[in-house]
Amino acid sequence: MSPGAFIYIIWGLWFFAWLAASILGKRERGRLHGGLSALFHLVAAFALLLLLNLLNPFPAADLRYGLWSTGVPDALGWVLVTMALAAFGFSLWASVHRIIRLHHSARVVDGGPYAVVRHPLHVGVILAAAITAVLFGEPSTLSGAVLLSAALIVKVCLEERASDDAAHRDYRRRVPMFVPFWPTRD
């Protein structure tokens, strides 16, 4: 199996887990609902199709402007796949930690990966998207990674604006949004 084929499996597993969590997940205050949530999911799904090169609106651009014409060597490809697995592992750790903390009625989840960044689930996905774009090395996959990252960042900003109580304001003052140890602005 090639690294490119394996990355499809990883993203497929992540997509079905994300879809299940979106449909079955507990509705929390501050989460996007209704039309805005549907719009986000449509944009994210479109971005994933671009990222995984399942939808390619400009195939000639990929042939002409691809980062590499023959793909990455298998050894480098497997290093990139390992990095993507680590990024997804960070997201999985965040997801499990969040479920456990919310089960114990935590007002704000601020331990584990949430002590490092406020949105570790999104950080993991953004990193995995960037790594996948490098693995495939085509303009369409890069545009998918950029679009998915932008959609996640906009979603997070809208959600943070909706949860503006004292506990969340304190958490935003202490912990950076996406980049560990980055100074916070709140």
- CATH no. for residue 24? 1.20.120
181 located within any domain: no
Residue 43, pLDDT above cutoff 70: yes
Which is more confidently placed, 138 or 149?
Answer: 149
182 located within any domain: no
Give me the number of domains the chain comprises.
1
168 located within any domain: yes
- Res. 139 pLDDT band, cuts 50 70 90: confident
99-111: average pLDDT:
73
Nearest to 129 by CA among 88, 94, 100, 162: 88
184 located within any domain: no
Least confident of 5-9, 51-55, 96-100, 152-156: 96-100
- Res. 96 pLDDT band, cuts 50 70 90: confident
Q: Which domain holds residue 74?
A: 3-174
User: Tell me, what's the pLDDT at 63?
Assistant: 60
Cα distance between residue 186 and residue 174, in whole Å: 9
